[in-house]
Amino acid sequence: MDIAIQISNLDLFYGAFHALKNVNLAIEQRKITALIGPSGCGKSTLLRALNRMNDLIPGCRTTGAVLLEDKDIYGPAIDVCELRKKVGMVFQRPNPFPLSIRDNVTFGLRVAGRKNNASLDDTIEKSLQDAWLWEQVKDKLDNLALELPLDQQQRLCIARVLAVEPDVILMDEPCSALDPISTAKIEELMLELRRRYTIAIVTHNMQQAARISDYSAYMLLGEMIEFGVTTQIFENPKDKRTEDYITGRYG
Amino acid sequence: MALAFTALTSLLLIAIFIFKEGVPFIARVGFKDFLLSSDWRPQAGHFGIYPMIIASLLVTFGAMLVGAPLGIACAVFLNEFVSKPATRIIKPTIELLAGIPSVVYGFIGVVVVAPLIRSQFGGPGLSMLCASLILGVMVLPTIISISTDVLASVPNAYREGALALGATRWQSVHMVILKAGRSGIVAAVILGMGRAIGETMAVIMVAGNTVQLPHSALDSVCTLTAKIAMEMGSATGPHRQALFAIGVVLFLMIMMFNALAMSAIKQRFAGK
């Protein structure tokens, strides 16, 4: 199997708090890997360690290695902006910028130095189509993105990431602010995106992990308890603690 | 309750008094001869305040050219690039600037800025340029304080979203954060304008106070506020009424600035 991201012996501290404890995990290319576990187990922290969003938190310290294309993203020669173009992120609450739909989609390209003109039109259409949003917004690309309904805002945030053509997409509970119908649509979209992108998703919703992910990782108190093929994790967990969580006896 | 009412009533009475003294005068002299004439000779019965209106507007505009970029840049720096504990010290310090008496700013203008302008650019030194520079610094606390609050209220999700797409800190500021806070920052600048156009003491000291239409930034000018303050003590009859009428004009200008700022703020909250 082809590995997109290899995490080895990763420890992470928020000041004195040991948030991730010696985590090892391989995220496979063009598969969906779900991180599950109770609140505060470190799954979001782990996800945000993969594009170094934790750098924004004062007092956050990391040891160990996260290899992307055989290079440690915590190494000295890494440009964090370049890293974040390769490893895109979709957040818990849809956070389109207070700009037009067009400017939202082109944001990542403009950041990379592309001029905002007609040469971006193809990318805009393709990204929105890939996020299943083109039909709804094609006639109002210059409207404010904040006027869209919440589920379309979230798909716009996905389109915004797709426009940069990342290798990996990180999703931090992307459906937790959405209703069940919108959730189903995003899940279906993720399965479609899996053909071309590696996806890592944090979710509170175990049914969601079971429905869409190829691999699941169960975390507890900052430790990686068990990692494996999703069907195995859910039907035949090896660790007692995983079983307790899956069957609802814990968490 | 009673105290609040007293405060409001006194404000209202001041407004009524100014209007009562000023409006009949404007009606008598004529709108056009008062606002659009350049002939200010109170003893001869000529009350044209056009040069002073222009001087007030130009000085205010000049002050904004100085104060707005500095103030906004400072707010961005404080909010996006300085650690929280440092901001907690720097921001109150800046707000302290607002407590310096304006005569002190004027004094600095007279002994430092004006001679510098005279030696570097020529002219009398006490000039529109000097007034703009001093006022530009004086409005900084207003602009910085409001802009910082505006930027602090921009949701963190915008910052994270921008950075996660590979933006640098600076790109996230000018492509997203400033746009999200645009109307609030506009309001901050307009409130700064209100403060600049109403400032009197410092302006009297540094603007030169010649009633004339300025041809360059180095010319001496006389603003509306300076005219009132300098002549009120000795004015009688129509001359005194004329000064009240200038007060009416200033009052309306500042009301207009505040209304503009309010509508900018309202627009900001409607946009969310």
Domain parsing of chain B, residue ranges: 44-270
Q: What is the mean pLDDT of residues B36-62?
A: 93
Domain parsing of chain A, residue ranges: 3-93+168-246
d(CA A115, CA A51): 25
d(CA B195, CA A127): 48
Is residue B270 pLDDT above 60, yes or no? no
Please give, rounded to a whole number of angstroms, the shortest distance from the CA of A44 to a CA of chain B.
14
Of all residues in chain A, the one with the smallest CA distance to B170 is A111
Please report the pLDDT score of residue B262 as a whole number.
Answer: 87
**Burial category of A146 from C-beta neighbours within 10 Å (exposed 0-12, middle 13-18, buried 19 and up):** middle
Count how many Cα atoms sit within 13 Å of the Cα of residue B271 in the half-sphere of its side chain: 20
CB atoms A95 and B158 under 8 Å: yes
Kindly give the confidence (pLDDT) of every residue in chain A, 251 residues in length, as a single tens digit, with 9 standing for 90 and above: 688 999 999 999 999 999 999 999 999 999 999 999 998 899 999 999 999 999 888 889 999 999 998 899 998 889 999 999 999 999 999 999 999 999 999 999 999 888 877 788 899 999 999 999 999 998 999 999 999 999 999 999 999 999 999 999 999 999 998 899 999 999 999 999 999 999 999 998 889 999 999 999 999 999 999 999 999 999 988 898 999 898 887 76
Q: The CATH number of B44-270 is which of 3.30.1370.60, 3.10.110.10, 1.10.3720.10, 3.20.20.70?
A: 1.10.3720.10
CB atoms B158 and A81 under 8 Å: no
d(CA B128, CA B222): 9
Tell me which residue in B83, B166, B271 faces A84 most closely, judged by beta carbons. Answer: B166
Q: Which CATH class is domain A3-93+168-246?
A: alpha beta
d(CA A64, CA B252): 66
Model ipTM? 0.91
- A contact test, residue of B165, B169, B177, B183 with most A CBs within 10 A: B165
